[in-house]
């Protein structure tokens, strides 16, 4: 077995793969996040890839928690006394893979069918799930959002699937000189010295954008499709609620939920959160930016 380490949003984790595995071919989007420095502390988690060897224990009670069908494929999540059990198939249930994590997500063993042409996508998806839960007790949150960089700050656009997050990011990039995409699906947010930061990650949906950058957050906006362009700010509880549904957490894990809620409540206090009811046009980008900047000028006056 061979060990590789990666650093995403300041969190260092390790991946162990069978000897002879081409890690860059298996996980190409992880290359910018490769960590080659000497480990000063224990990694956040270790993720062990196996190409064989798993069999369900007949005496173990697996409790079904959730099932989802999205860009990660078909995912079924179960809990058992010692942790979590994940079953995943990336395309049309052609081949199924699984993973077993302990309760703290410190160790995960993934059992991958290497004959699946989507094996790398499966490993990446499983890593995304493990990472998103493992960072929560350490103040990190993986959010479903499209994010851009402008004037040294990150702006995150959240909303239901199909709302137009990627479209809105593209409008900012087209409208404002120097604006660029940071991540189109799963940036990480965290609080550093009372400053909310956003980081690129190896997971960016259907748009390849894997940047190892971390910047202060200039604003977080929830998008809603409408026949007009109106921006409104929200504070306190409403800000919290408008961000909550876009955060990755196991809903039935009370401990993780409470940890994430604490971090999100602080984010709601420290950063401008708004709702943008909008059309998919250039004017929407200007209205959104003007709304955020107006709020910022009032907030820091």
Verify that 271 and 183 share a domain, yes or no.
yes
Together in a domain, 51 and 109: yes
pLDDT, position 250: 94
Residues 102 and 186 grouped into a single domain: no
Task: Say if residue 127 is in the same domain as residue 39.
Answer: yes
Same domain, 247 and 165: yes
Q: What is the dihedral of CA 107, 198, 301, 222, to 10 degrees?
A: -100
What is the C-alpha to C-alpha distance for residues 169 and 276, in angstroms, rounded to an integer?
Answer: 13
Low-confidence ranges of the chain (pLDDT < 50): 297-301
Q: What is the pLDDT of residues 106-152, one digit of tens each?
A: 999 999 988 888 899 999 999 999 999 999 999 999 999 999 999 99
Q: Which of 71, 73, 67, 102 is nearest to 85 (CA)?
A: 102
Q: CA angle at residue 72 from 225 to 274, to 5 degrees?
A: 30
Q: Are 18 and 147 contained in the same domain? A: no
Number of domains the chain is built from: 2
Say yes or no: 178 and 234 in one domain.
Answer: yes
In this prediction, residue 300 carries a pLDDT of 35
**236 and 288, same domain (yes or no):** yes
Residues with Cβ within 8 Å of residue 132, at least 6 apart in sequence: 142, 186, 248, 249
CB 87 within 8 A of CB 76: yes
pLDDT of residue 89: 87
Which H/E stretch holds residue 129? Answer: helix 119-134
- Is the CA virtual torsion 224, 229, 233, 234 positive or negative? negative
What does the alpha-carbon distance between residue 46 and residue 251 come to, in Å, rounded to a whole number?
23
pLDDT at 187: 98
Task: Say what the pLDDT of residue 298 is.
Answer: 41
């Amino acid at each position: 077995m061979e060990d590789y380490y990666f650093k995403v949003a300041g969190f260092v984790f390790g991946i162990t793969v069978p000897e002879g595995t081409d890690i860059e071919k298996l996980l190409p989007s992880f290359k910018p996040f490769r960590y080659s420095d000497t480990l000063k502390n224990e990694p956040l988690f270790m993720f062990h890839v196996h190409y064989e060897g798993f069999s369900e224990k007949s005496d173990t009670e697996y409790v079904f928690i959730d099932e989802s069908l999205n860009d990660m494929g078909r995912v079924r999540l179960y809990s058992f006394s010692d942790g979590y059990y994940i079953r995943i198939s990336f395309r049309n249930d052609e081949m199924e893979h699984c993973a077993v994590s302990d309760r703290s997500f410190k160790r995960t063993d993934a059992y991958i069918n290497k004959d699946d042409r989507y094996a790398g996508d499966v490993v990446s998806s499983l890593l995304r799930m493990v990472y998103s839960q493992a960072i929560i007790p350490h103040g990190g949150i993986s959010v479903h959002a499209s994010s851009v960089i402008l004037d040294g700050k990150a702006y995150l656009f959240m909303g239901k699937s199909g709302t137009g997050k990627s479209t809105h990011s593209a409008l900012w990039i087209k409208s404002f000189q120097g604006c660029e995409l940071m991540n189109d699906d799963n940036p990480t947010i965290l609080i550093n010295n009372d400053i909310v930061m956003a980081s690129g990650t190896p997971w960016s949906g259907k748009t390849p954008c894997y940047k190892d950058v971390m910047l202060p957050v200039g604003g977080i906006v929830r998008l809603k499709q409408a026949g007009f362009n109106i921006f409104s700010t929200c504070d306190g509880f409403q800000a919290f609620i408008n961000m909550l549904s876009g955060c990755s957490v196991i809903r039935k894990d009370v401990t993780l939920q409470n940890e994430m809620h604490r971090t999100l409540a602080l984010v709601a206090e420290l950063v401008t959160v708004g709702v943008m009811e909008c059309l998919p046009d250039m004017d929407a980008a200007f209205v959104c930016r003007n709304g955020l900047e107006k709020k910022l000028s009032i907030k820091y006056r």
